[in-house]
Copies of this chain bind each other. A is one copy, B any other.
Amino acid sequence: MEDCKLRWERESGRKVFDCPVFSVNECVCRSPDGRRRTYTVMDLADWAIVVPVIESGGEREFVLVRQWRHGSQEMSLEFPGGVFESGEDAPAAAARELLEETAYRAGNMRKLGEFRPNPAIMSNTVHIFLAEDLHFTGAQALDEDEYIEVVRVKPRELIEGMGRPPYVHALMGSALALYLKDHPRL
């Protein structure tokens, strides 16, 4: 089917809520066959997620972070990552989050891909990186309100655990799917 049979046009937008994490906009949109409808969409900064892989005794391990999550009200064990700071590009944000949350610096970092965390209602992008050749720098540099434990987990345990606690973060599954493209036999 041609795109023009599926594509909407956004005619106008109006901000209806704002907070430090996101803003909410009501947008009037026109359907492929000319009908108008209002949609609620959120603007947010981009995010970075890092898949840090470390060699340990001939085996690979993921470096994960365990922390409390305020939205879902539970503990989560996940890849390090976070929100871009003002003016940062994706590689800088990924390297900073990895260093701050885990105290590891990567000798080798490359982008695996990117996704829209929720293209139906959110405008932003999550950029996913692989980090290898990791060097421990000594100490985390956590934000004042971050309480994070660093945990090393074998790939098989992570893959088998996906989709149930403590591996509850959906974007961690998205990142793992990209990692598995290049490493199907883990």
Interface residues of A (CB under 8 A from B): 1, 3, 5-8, 10, 16-17, 19-22, 24, 26-27, 29, 31-32, 35, 37, 39-42, 66-76, 112-123, 125-126, 128, 145, 147-149, 159-160, 162-164, 168-178, 180-181, 184-186
Contacts and interface: CB of A to CB of B under 8 A. Distances in A.
Nearest to A117: B170
Give the copy number.
2
Contacts of A73: 10, 123
A75 B3 contact: yes
A163 B112 contact: yes
Contacts of A19: 16, 24, 26, 40
A76 B148 CA distance: 35
Contact of A6 (B8, B126, B147): B147
4 closest A-B pairs by CB:
A113-B163, A173-B174, A115-B170, A69-B119
Given A6-B66, A176-B177, A32 B72 contact: no
B164 A71 contact: no
Given A31-B147, A40-B21, A177-B180, A116 B170 contact: yes
A72 B40 CA distance: 12
Given A6-B66, A6-B75, A118-B171, 11 more contacts: A1-B149, A6-B149, A8-B70, A16-B17, A19-B24, A35-B145, A118-B170, A159-B177, A162-B177, A163-B178, A173-B175
Contact of A66 (B1, B37, B186): B1
Contact of A174 (B42, B122, B170): B170
A24 to B, nearest CB: 6
A182 to B, nearest CB: 10
Given A37-B145, A170-B174, A70 B7 contact: no
